[in-house]
Amino acid sequence: MSTSIELPVLTPKDFASDQEVRWCPRCGDYSILAQVKKILPTLNIPKEEFVFISGIGCSSRFPYYMNTYGMHSIHGRAPAIATGLKVARPDLQVWVITGDGDSLSIGGNHFMHMIRRNVNLKVILFNNQIYGLTKGQYSPTSPQGKRTKSTPYGSVDAPLTPLSVAIGARASFAARSVDVDINHLCYVLERAANHKGTALVEVYQDCNVFNSGAFDFASKKDQKVENCIYLEHGKPLIFGKDRDKGIRLNHLSQPEVVELGKGGVSEDDLLFHDEKLENPTLAFLLSQMRYPESPEPMGVFRAIDRPTYDDEVNEQVKEVTEKYGPGNLEDLFSTGDTWTVE
């Protein structure tokens, strides 16, 4: 019979550090911090096993506000630091906090490789489509034509879609939510926390100082039901205040909006979401549906099982050790030809 050890019951407060939170008033970051603190106690994992690693940017101050282990590192490198930590310490729960500039511009390389390796990390990407900490330049997710301090005549850069990048890099888990959509954000974060492998959660986050209202389409109560499709595994893609609209694939396998009941369209004609498909085509297609050209999906795009890098590295260490026996320095020194001088 096993004896169970009572874990102390943790509350969101236990995860708050003694540092004053210094984001701008009404910044979307506050909500994300609050939701993370809300879900961590539900995971039944001791507080000391969490590590939050961030890069640079407004969002990357996050670790200072968590009473866990953490590192506020350098610009773009959090995925690489977290990878090193997770390989050396697979017992830890390592979370990466990053932004659109941090992960997709200066840190694009690490972001992509973390995802393809499927390191068992939880990643929250605060996407506010702007550089906030440097006071308002356009970012790799800013829409073309965006006027900012560095693009007074409008940005000519074509933006990236973070989830498309992630799915292209073979993400095992990719999801999207919105900072103030509290219940949905909590649901998605919880799903990420329980996923094994790189779990990417893109959060649309309002920078009310430099890019206010960028995500109103997805956060305002009256707008979001018309503009967003809330994905559910195994369910058809239906949206709209009256849930009378859906997404169907046309003869070129492109998504199109149809009205239920019109022209004989029924639920069975709609695209059904399957987050567990091995083939990433559907998830990629969903990630390419962007407002305002199309209603935009929210929720879990993809959640598949795939071996994790940290497991594989450590498993190989175990296998080689079993095969050759634990390392012996004397044997190591004597590999190859040796000779003795009397």
Partner 1 sequence: MSAVDTQSNGNGNFRTTEQVDAVVIRFCGDSGDGMQLVGTQFTNVSAVFGNDVSTLPDFPAEIRAPAGTLNGVSGFQLCFSSTDIFTPGDEVDTLVAMNPAALKTNLADLKRGGTLIVNKDAFDKSGLSKAGYATNPLDEDNDSLAGYRVHKIDMTRLTRDSVADLGLSLKEADRCKNFFALGLVYWLYDRDATATQDWIKSKFAKRPELVQANLAALKAGADLGYSTQAFTVHYKVPPAKLPPGKYRKMTGNEAVAMGLVAAAHVSGKELFYAGYPITPASDILHELSKLKNFGVRTAQVEDEIAAITATVGASFGGAFAVTASSGPGIALKSEGIGLAVITELPLVIVNVQRGGPSTGLPTKTEQADLMMSFFGRNGECPMPIIAAATPGDAFDVAREAMRLAVEFMTPVFLLSDGYIANGAEPWRIPDLKDIKPIDFKHIKEANGKDGQYMPYLRNDRLVRPWALPGTPGLEHRVGGLEKSDGTGNVSYDPDNHQHMIETRAKKIAGIANHIPDQPLEGPDSGDLLVISWGGTYGSVRTAVQRAQKDGHKVTLAHIRYLNPFPKNLEEVIKRFDKVLVPELNTGQLRFLLRAMFLCDAKGLNKMKGKPFLVSEVYDAIIENLKK
From 6, 91, 242, 268, residue interacting with partner 1 (rule: CB under 8 A):
91
- In the complex with partner 1, the residue whose CB is nearer, 78 or 178, is 78
* Binding of residue 222 to partner 1 (CB under 8 A): no
The reply to whether 11 sits near partner 1 by the rule CB under 8 A is no
Other beta carbons less than 10 A from residue 296's beta carbon: 21
Number of residues that bind partner 1 (CB under 8 A): 61
103 class by beta-carbon count within 10 Å (0-12 exposed, 13-18 middle, 19+ buried):
buried
- Dihedral of the alpha carbons of 171, 112, 186, 303, in degrees to the nearest 10: 0
Q: Nearest Cα to 99, choosing from 129, 65, 136? A: 129
Query: CA dihedral defined by 143, 146, 148, 150, rounded to 10 degrees?
Result: 80
Nearest distance, CB of residue 283 and partner 1, angstroms = 23
Q: Does 6 bind partner 1 (CB under 8 A)?
A: no
Single residue of 28, 63, 101, 280 touching partner 1 by CB under 8 A: 63
- Footprint on residues 277-316 left by partner 1 (CB under 8 A): 313-314, 316
- Residue 306 burial (CB count, 10 A): 15
* Residue 74 sits in the site that holds partner 1 (CB under 8 A): yes
Q: Which of 11, 26, 46, 244 binds partner 1 (CB under 8 A)?
A: 46
Does 325 bind partner 1 (CB under 8 A)? Our answer is yes
Please report whether residue 105 would count as binding partner 1 according to CB under 8 A.
no
d(CA 211, CA 130): 7
Between 182-193 and 29-39, two packed helices, what is the crossing angle to 10 degrees? 50
Is the Cβ–Cβ distance between 128 and 214 less than 8 Å?
A: yes
Cβ proximity to partner 1: between 263 and 327 the closer is 327
**CA 228 to CA 226: how far, in whole Å?**
6
> How near is the Cβ of 5 to partner 1 at its closest, in Å?
13
87 binds partner 1 (CB under 8 A): yes
Q: Does 110 bind partner 1 (CB under 8 A)?
A: yes
The one-character DSSP state at 152 is T
The alpha carbon torsion through 292, 142, 275, 30 (nearest 10 deg) reads -110
Span near partner 1 by CB under 8 A; candidates 171-179, 209-217, 254-262, 322-330: 322-330
CA distance linking residue 278 with residue 305, whole number of Å: 9
Does residue 34 belong to the site contacting partner 1 (CB under 8 A)?
no
- Residue 68 in contact with partner 1, rule: CB under 8 A: yes
Determine which helix (DSSP H) or strand (DSSP E) holds 125, and give its type and residue range: strand 122-127
User: Peptide bond preceding 159: is omega within 30 degrees of 0, i.e. cis?
Assistant: no
C-beta of 15: minimal distance to partner 1 in Å? 10
Written as one string, the DSSP assignment of 289-337 is: --TTTS-EEEEEEEE-----HHHHHHHHHHHHHHHH-S--HHHHHT-S-
Rule CB under 8 A: choose which of 21, 30, 41, 47 binds partner 1: 47
List the x/- string, 135-174, binding to partner 1 by CB under 8 A.
----------------------------------------
The yes or no reply on residue 40 touching partner 1 (CB under 8 A) is: no
Stretch that binds partner 1, among 89-97, 145-153, 161-169, 262-270 (CB under 8 A): 89-97
Contact set with partner 1 (CB under 8 A): 17, 19, 46-49, 51, 53, 56, 63-64, 66-74, 77, 80-89, 91-92, 109-110, 112-113, 313-314, 316-317, 320-321, 323-327, 329-330, 332-342
